[in-house]
């Protein structure tokens, strides 16, 4: 059997949404992603859109069968304390996440979108002083 080298790119999670306005308020207004593009096969059909923040790309879909609600996505962040503080400063009615240092040595916080999906933002923690 011939050995071939395989190179893979980063994954693009598809997250199920049910309400365009709620999705935009959460992902664009609160989390500060930007909308790269939107697609519908025709007017009054489900929305499929790409959003991004830095090099993180997510797809949001109203299409039945594209994804299941209740998914979890982990997103690496540089400057997590500043990002977290900026989100808390918005006083978003539905999410006031706490920033924690985990036993697996990350700093992270998680938020749930209006559709039951969990978004976990994390940063590799600096070594503990007592280690």
Task: Report the CATH number at residue 35.
Answer: 3.10.180.10
Residues 6+ apart with CB under 8 A from 76: 122, 123, 124
Task: Label residue 4 by pLDDT band (50, 70, 90).
Answer: confident
Model pLDDT for residues 13-32, shown as the tens digit of each residue? 999 999 999 999 999 999 99
Task: Label residue 3 by pLDDT band (50, 70, 90).
Answer: confident
Instruction: Evaluate if residue 78 carries a pLDDT over 60.
Output: yes
What is the average per-residue pLDDT within 61-86?
Answer: 95
Number of separate domains in the chain: 1
Q: What is the DSSP-derived secondary structure letter of residue 99? A: P
For residue 6, being part of any structural domain is answered with no
Task: Name the pTM for this structure.
Answer: 0.89
Q: What is the DSSP-derived secondary structure letter of residue 80? A: H
For residue 129, being part of any structural domain is answered with no
For residue 77, being part of any structural domain is answered with yes
- Nearest C-alpha neighbor of 14 from the set 63, 54, 61: 61
For residue 75, the enclosing domain spans 14-124
> Strand runs (DSSP E) across the chain, as ranges?
14-16, 34-39, 48-53, 56-61, 72-76, 100-101, 106-112, 118-124
- What per-residue confidence (pLDDT) applies to 102? 94
For residue 105, being part of any structural domain is answered with yes
| Count of CB atoms situated within 10 Å of the CB of 122 | 17
């Amino acid at each position: 059997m011939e050995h071939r080298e395989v190179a893979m790119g980063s994954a693009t999670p598809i997250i199920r949404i049910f309400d365009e306005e709620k999705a935009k308020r959460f992902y664009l207004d609160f989390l500060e992603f930007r909308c790269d593009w939107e697609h519908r096969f025709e007017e009054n059909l489900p929305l499929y859109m790409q959003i991004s923040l830095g090099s993180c790309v997510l797809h949001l879909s109203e299409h039945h069968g594209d994804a299941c609600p209740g998914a979890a996505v982990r997103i690496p962040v540089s400057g997590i304390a500043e990002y977290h503080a900026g989100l808390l400063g918005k006083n978003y009615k539905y999410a006031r996440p706490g920033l924690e240092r985990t036993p697996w040595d990350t700093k992270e916080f998680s938020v749930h979108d209006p559709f039951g999906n969990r978004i976990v933002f994390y940063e590799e923690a600096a070594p503990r002083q007592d280690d």
